[in-house]
């Protein structure tokens, strides 16, 4: 569901946003410039401020002297020191202190000799106090400066992120408060959910879920889950303003304040309906293609077997052999088509199981016997037994066993031995199929059960679509079982599968 950029709804809101942003940015530019200039005074300016402030203090002191006690006079110089320290820092504060004390000593100490202890003590106290005041003012000045720089950076970074988020059109990105009420809404959200920010801000985000999910409280459960596990991603239906539903991926992340308390959530929604549509079309295609392929195979097989019947009645039997080969190749072709069909059914979750009690001991012996018929040169060793039956689809389990056995044969061109072990571990029946073939490189170990995976080291020396292990593992999983492999390159592999047993 993509709305063209020309949609008046979208472009209007984007325009309004840009305008709002521009006016805000303009408002912030004045203090930014003022501040940056203020913190980079030239040394001459600092020096000038120091001199002027000391002079003003001196003039004031001279003017006020007849009215006020002399000791109070010194206080006026602290004003000058503060000025110098604010604009020039600690060093200029000390300079101001020194100048003030020299001038004060020269102007106001006529009644006491300059070298008297009384004067020196007063002078030292003034010097220390001046230094402390300078230090204090400088620290205060730095703190104010840092605070405003941080503030500016914060505002700028917020503006940057806002702009980035706002200009994303393919993803809905919005925030909610702790209870799920929407606090921000980007252009992508307008595109996806069709609500303008004016319509949605302040409303509960459950509005974007299908009514039946809201009825069972899913939007609230999702928020709880996100708050608990720090992020929560899921796929499901979301709705638009008109009530139209679309399949989407939803990622919800809690937002924390500076002491780590959750105060809201960020929500990112991506429309997956197109991808879903493509997947479905592909699966439908495979399904139809397999069906179409089977029709000619069916008539070819009937004609081949018809020829076989007729040939057996003829005195010359030489062509029977070739007709048998033809028939076997048709079976092989049919298996490949079935695999394709299985993959498409697995993808769409249409794998049907006809569940019944299955004796694994019996099934394995039957399968091994059948495989032995075809691969007479191989040595199959069956070990162990399972006590209880499993509950499963006999044909599907046969398919899995056949697949593991033919795989073991296929990937052990130099060895002739294959060991099949049966065991029971509590409530699980475990089957292991061990070959002594080429093995699997460690880095492929986890991938071999994926769809269409073929280990590249085999360099197409082995035929097949790479679907067998995927199908087998999916069949086992649909039986609530598990599949795994132990392998060593050059030494061989052991494929395991475990199925829950039926004890009652």
Partner 1 sequence: MNTAKRIMVIDDDASILEAVEILLQLEGYEVYTSMNGTQALQKIPEVQPQIILLDVLLSGEDGRDIARKLKLDETTKTIPIIMFSANPNIEKSTQEAGACAFLSKPFNVEDLIGLTNQYVH
The answer to whether 40 contacts partner 1 (rule: CB under 8 A) is no
The answer to whether 341 contacts partner 1 (rule: CB under 8 A) is yes
Nearest 5°: the CA angle 488, 340, 500 is 60
Pick one of 151, 159, 197, 334: the residue that binds partner 1 (CB under 8 A).
334
The neighbour count for residue 84, using CB atoms within 10 Å, is 32
Q: Smallest distance, Å, CB 350 to partner 1?
A: 7
Pick one of 152, 227, 330, 382: the residue that binds partner 1 (CB under 8 A).
330
Token pair, residue 291, equals 């069906």
Spatial contact of 431 and 418, defined as CB atoms under 8 Å apart: no
Which residue, 326 or 430, is less far from partner 1 as judged by CB? 326
Distances (CA, A) of 487 to 383, 441, 448: 20, 8, 12
Which of these segments, 6-14, 133-141, 345-353, 442-450, binds partner 1 (CB under 8 A)? Answer: 345-353
Which residue, 393 or 435, is less far from partner 1 as judged by CB? 393
CB-based contacts of 480, cutoff 8 Å, min separation 6: 499, 500
The neighbour count for residue 299, using CB atoms within 10 Å, is 9
The answer to whether 335 contacts partner 1 (rule: CB under 8 A) is no
Q: Smallest distance, Å, CB 303 to partner 1?
A: 5
Q: Smallest distance, Å, CB 320 to partner 1?
A: 15
Nearest 5°: the CA angle 179, 185, 186 is 150
Spatial contact of 187 and 13, defined as CB atoms under 8 Å apart: yes
Count interface residues toward partner 1 (CB under 8 A): 23
Which class for 339: exposed (0-12), middle (13-18), buried (19 or more C-beta within 10 A)? buried
Token pair, residue 79, equals 């004003």
Q: For the segment 187-216, give every residue that binds partner 1 (CB under 8 A).
A: none
Spatial contact of 333 and 325, defined as CB atoms under 8 Å apart: no
Which of these segments, 132-140, 229-237, 349-357, 448-456, binds partner 1 (CB under 8 A)? Answer: 349-357
Q: Smallest distance, Å, CB 480 to partner 1?
A: 20
Pick one of 111, 354, 460, 503: the residue that binds partner 1 (CB under 8 A).
354
Q: For the segment 288-327, give every residue that binds partner 1 (CB under 8 A).
A: 290-291, 294-303, 305-306, 309
Which residue, 345 or 479, is less far from partner 1 as judged by CB? 345
State which H helix or E strand residue 425 sits in: strand 417-425
Interacting residues with partner 1 (CB under 8 A): 290-291, 294-303, 305-306, 309, 330, 334, 338, 341, 345, 350, 352, 354
């Amino acid at each position: 569901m993509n709305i063209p950029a020309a949609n008046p709804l979208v472009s209007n809101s984007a325009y309004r946003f840009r305008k709002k942003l521009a006016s805000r940015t303009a408002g912030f530019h004045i203090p930014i410039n003022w501040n940056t200039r203020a913190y980079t005074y030239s040394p001459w300016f600092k020096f000038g401020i120091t001199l002027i402030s000391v002079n003003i203090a001196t003039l004031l002191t001279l003017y006020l002297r007849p009215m006020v006690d002399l000791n109070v006079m010194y206080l006026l110089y602290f004003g000058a020191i503060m000025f110098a320290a604010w604009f020039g820092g600690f060093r200029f504060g000390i300079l101001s202190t020194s100048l003030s004390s020299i001038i004060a000593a020269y102007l106001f100490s006529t009644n006491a000799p300059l070298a008297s202890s009384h004067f020196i003590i007063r002078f030292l106290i003034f010097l220390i106090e001046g230094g402390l005041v300078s230090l204090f003012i400088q620290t205060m000045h730095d703190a104010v400066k840092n605070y405003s720089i941080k503030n500016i950076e914060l505002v700028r970074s917020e503006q940057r992120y806002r702009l980035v988020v706002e200009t994303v059109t393919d993803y809905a990105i919005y925030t909610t408060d702790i209870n799920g009420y929407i606090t921000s809404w980007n252009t992508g959200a307008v595109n996806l959910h069709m609500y303008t920010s004016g319509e949605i801000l302040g409303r509960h985000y459950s509005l974007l879920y299908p009514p039946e999910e809201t009825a069972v409280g899913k939007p609230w459960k999702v928020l709880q889950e996100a708050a608990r596990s720090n992020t929560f991603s899921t796929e499901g239906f979301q709705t638009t303003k008109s009530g139209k539903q679309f399949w989407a991926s939803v990622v919800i992340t809690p937002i924390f304040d500076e002491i780590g308390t959750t105060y809201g959530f960020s929500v990112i929604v991506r429309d997956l309906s197109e991808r879903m549509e493509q997947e479905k079309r592909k699966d439908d295609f495979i399904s139809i293609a397999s069906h179409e392929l089977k029709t000619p195979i069916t008539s070819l097989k009937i004609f081949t077997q018809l020829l076989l019947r007729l040939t057996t009645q003829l005195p010359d039997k030489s062509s029977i052999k070739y007709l048998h080969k033809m028939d076997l190749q048709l079976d092989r072709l049919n298996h490949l088509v079935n695999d394709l069909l299985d993959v498409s059914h697995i993808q769409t979750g249409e794998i049907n199981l006809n569940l019944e009690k299955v004796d694994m001991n019996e099934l394995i012996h039957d399968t091994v016997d059948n495989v032995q018929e075809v691969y007479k040169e191989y040595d199959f060793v069956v070990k162990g037994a399972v006590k209880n039956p499993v509950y499963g689809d006999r044909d599907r389990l046969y398919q899995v066993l056949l697949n593991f056995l033919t795989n073991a044969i296929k990937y052990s061109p130099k060895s002739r031995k294959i060991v099949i072990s049966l065991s029971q571990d509590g409530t699980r029946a475990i089957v292991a199929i061990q070959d002594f073939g080429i093995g699997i490189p460690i880095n492929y170990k986890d991938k071999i059960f994926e769809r269409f995976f073929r280990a590249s080291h085999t360099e197409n020396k082995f035929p097949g679509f790479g679907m067998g292990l995927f199908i087998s593992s999916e069949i086992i999983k649909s039986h609530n079982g598990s599949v795994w492999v132990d392998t060593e390159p050059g030494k061989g592999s052991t494929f395991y599968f475990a199925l829950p047993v039926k004890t009652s």
